[in-house]
Structure 1
Amino acid sequence: MEEESMEEEGGGGGCEAMMDDQNHNNWGAGGYGRHLLGPAAAPLGDRLLCGAAGGLGPAGPPAAPQLPMAPEANGVLRSCDPAATAGKGGAGAIAAAININASTSKFLMNVITIEDYKSTYWPKLDSAIDQLLTQSPGDYIPISYEQIYSCVYKCVCQQHSEQMYSDLIKKITNHLERVSKELQASPPDLYIERFNVALGQYMGALQSIVPLFIYMNKFYIETKLNRDLKDDLIKLFTDHVAEKHIYNLMPLLLEAQSTPFQITPSTMANIVKGLYTLRPEWVQLAPALFSKFIPNILPPAVESELQEYAAQDQKLQRDLMQNGFTRGDQSRKRAGEELTYNGSSACASSRGYR
Structure 2
Amino acid sequence: MNVITVDDYKNTYWPKLDSAIDQLLTQSPGDYIPISYEQIYSCVYKCVCQQHSEQMYSDLMCKITAHLEKVSLELQATSPEHYIEKFNLALSQYMGALHSIVPLFIYMNKFYIETKLNRDLKDDLIQLFTEHVAEKHIYSLMPLLLEAQSTPFQITPSTMASIIKGLYTLRPEWVQLAPTLFSKFIPNILPPAMESELQDYAAQDQKLQQDLMQNGFNRGDQSRKRAGEELSYNGSCSR
Cα deviations by residue, 1:157-194 (Å, 9 ceiling, x for unpaired): 01000010000000000000000000000011111110
1:137 paired to 2:29: yes
Equivalent position to 1:159, from 51, 61, 67: 51
Matches for 1:250-269 after TM superposition, within 5 Å: 250-269=142-161
Q: What one-letter code is carried by the residue in structure 2 that aligns with 1:178?
A: K
User: Residues of 2 paired with 1:185 and 1:229: CA distance?
Assistant: 30
Following superposition, the deviation at residue 304 of structure 1 comes to 2.8
Q: Map Cα deviations across residues 273-298 of structure 1 (whole Å, 9 max, x no partner).
A: 11111001111111111111111222
Deviation at 1:232, TM superposition (A): 0.1
Which residue of structure 2 lines up, in the alignment, with residue 176 of structure 1?
68
- How much does 1:322 deviate? 2.4
Partner secondary structure for residue 216 of structure 2? coil
Moved more, 300-309 or 262-271: 300-309
Whole-angstrom distance in 2 between the partners of 1:124 and 1:230: 21
Matched with 1:231 is 123
Counterparts of 2:220 and 2:15 in 1: how far apart (Å)? 59
SS of 1:121's partner is helix
Gap change, CA 1:289 and 1:216, over 3 Å in 2: same
In the alignment, the residues of structure 2 paired with residue 328 and residue 180 of structure 1 have an alpha-carbon distance, to the nearest angstrom, of 47
AA in 1 matched with 2:140: N
Q: Secondary structure at the match of 2:29?
A: coil
The residue type paired with residue 215 of structure 1 is Y
Q: What is the CA RMSD across the aligned residues, in angstroms?
A: 1.5
For residue 300 of structure 1, the aligned residue among 153, 168, 192 is 192
Which stretches of structure 1, 4 residues or longer, exceed 3 Å deviation after superposition? 324-330
Deviation at 1:303, TM superposition (A): 2.3
Deviation at 1:326?
5.1
| Rg larger for | 1
Matched residue of 1:140: which SS?
coil
Alpha-carbon distance between aligned partners in 2 of 1:324 and 1:243, rounded to the nearest angstrom: 38
1:271-350 aligned at under 5 Å gives the runs 271-325=163-217, 327=219
Q: Distance in 2 between matches of 1:118 and 1:328?
A: 70
1:93-108 alignment, distance < 5 Å: none
Amino acid at match of 1:150: S
Q: Classify the secondary structure of the residue corresponding to 1:293.
A: coil
* Letter of the 1:179 counterpart: V
> Which of 212, 234, 247 is the matching residue for 2:139?
247
Query: 2:195 and 2:97 mapped to 1: Cα distance?
Result: 46
For 1:145 and 1:323, the matched residues in 2 are separated by 49
Where does residue 120 of structure 1 map in the other structure?
Answer: 12
Distance 1:323 1:260 in 2: 8
Name the CA distance, whole Å, in 1 between partners of 2:167 and 2:219. Answer: 33
Identity of aligned residues (%): 88
Q: Offset of 1:305 from its aligned partner? A: 2.7
Q: Which has the higher contact order (CA 8 A, sep 6+)?
A: 2
CA offsets per residue over residues 248-299 of structure 1, 9 Å max, x none?
A: 1111111111111111111111111111110011111111111111112221
Using the alignment, how far apart are the partners of 1:211 and 1:178 within structure 2?
24
C-alpha distance in 2 between matches for 1:307 and 1:230 = 44
* Aligned partner of 2:103 among 196, 211, 235: 211
1:209 partner amino acid: I
Three-state SS of the structure 2 residue aligned to 1:149 is helix
Deviations 1:19-76 (A, max 9, x none): xxxxxxxxxxxxxxxxxxxxxxxxxxxxxxxxxxxxxxxxxxxxxxxxxxxxxxxxxx
Aligned residues: 222
Show structure 1 runs of 5+ residues with no match. 1-108, 331-354
Distance 1:113 1:325 in 2: 68
Cα pair distance change 1:286/1:228, threshold 3 Å: same
In terms of fraction of residues, the more helix-rich structure is 2
CA distance in 2 between counterparts of 1:115 and 1:166 reads 16
Give me the TM-score of the superposition, normalised by structure 1. 0.61
2-side partners of 1:128 and 1:328: how far apart?
56
The aligned amino acid for 1:283 is V
